[in-house]
Chain A
Amino acid sequence: GQQLNQSPQSMFIQEGEDVSMNCTSSSIFNTWLWYKQDPGEGPVLLIALYKAGELTSNGRLTAQFGITRKDSFLNISASIPSDVGIYFCAGQLKTSGSRLTFGEGTQLTVNP
């Protein structure tokens, strides 16, 4: 089945720093999604990408859908303590209905 490789696995940064994480796949996806999960809660959608090459922002977050359709990155600018959490990428194939394939997650720690 499809696999998503997400990196880095974890990041420890200082407040105010920028962060970048990415996902790559051996398969082509039609949709890329980025979610954030806080401890003990379900994932919350941050950004959805639907077209190859698409660059979308949501506040301090920016994500891009790779031209090859096999990768995506998420950038967080000027990090703040509440950015702490686990960030997941997820890909969706048109042929798989609405099923998602998730990356392994990036644990972000922001030191004040």
Chain B
Amino acid sequence: GAVVSQHPSRVICKSGTSVKIECRSLDFQATTMFWYRQFPKQSLMLMATSNEGSKATYEQGVEKDKFLINHASLTLSTLTVTSAHPEDSSFYICSAIRGGQPQHFGDGTRLSIL
């Protein structure tokens, strides 16, 4: 069964709205979670590494103030897209590491900004 839960699965909102996406590890503690962005017909692009209890590590070119990441507990990381605009429309996917296993991915959040 699923080991990583992502919510919501789809969001449609107006330009200027801030949107929060949740990523939860189910039945295990994840000290590290990852946030990806995926455009249609493209691969996954790592945005940031979310570390429990500390600041996220952002990839080059990703705006920290635009994409706020909070990893307040060992089972929850949140990504907030602040003041979203149409160009922020994308498929956002989180993943978590369980023990020494490869990354397990959530089912993604389709964000559409009108």
Residue ID in chain A nearest B91 by CB atoms: A40
Residue pair B43, A42 in contact (C-beta under 8 Å): no
B6 on the A face (CB < 8 A): yes
Could you tell me how many residues of chain B have their Cβ less than 8 Å away from some Cβ of chain A? Answer: 21
Name the distance in Å between B40's Cβ and chain A's nearest Cβ.
10
Name the distance in Å between A96's Cβ and chain B's nearest Cβ.
10
B93 on the A face (CB < 8 A): yes
Contact of B105 (CB < 8 Å), options: A40, A44, A97, A107: A44
User: Total A-B residue pairs with C-beta atoms closer than 8 Å?
Assistant: 47
B88 on the A face (CB < 8 A): no
A65 on the B face (CB < 8 A): no
B46 on the A face (CB < 8 A): yes
Could you mark each residue 29-67 of chain A with 1 if its beta carbon is under 8 Å from any beta carbon of chain B, else 0? 001010100001111110010000000000000000000
Give the complex CA separation of A26 and B80 in angstroms. Answer: 35
Q: Which listed segment binds A: B14-22, B67-75, B106-114?
A: B106-114
A98 on the B face (CB < 8 A): yes
Could you mark each residue 38-67 of chain B with 1 if its beta carbon is under 8 Å from any beta carbon of chain A, else 0? 000111101001000000000000000000
Residue pair A100, B43 in contact (C-beta under 8 Å): no
Residue ID in chain A nearest B105 by CB atoms: A42
B85 on the A face (CB < 8 A): no
Residue pair B107, A42 in contact (C-beta under 8 Å): yes
* B93 neighbours in A (Cβ, 8 Å): 42-43
Residue pair B43, A41 in contact (C-beta under 8 Å): no
Query: Assuming A40-B108, A42-B93, A98-B32, is B102 touching A88 (CB within 8 A)?
Result: no
Name the distance in Å between A89's Cβ and chain B's nearest Cβ.
10
Contact of B6 (CB < 8 Å), options: A42, A100, A104: A42
Give the complex CA separation of A33 and B4 in angstroms. Answer: 18
Name the distance in Å between B97's Cβ and chain A's nearest Cβ.
5
Q: List 10 interface pairs A-B (beta carbons < 8 Å), by A numbering.
A: A31-B102, A40-B110, A42-B93, A42-B105, A45-B102, A88-B43, A97-B32, A99-B46, A100-B46, A102-B43
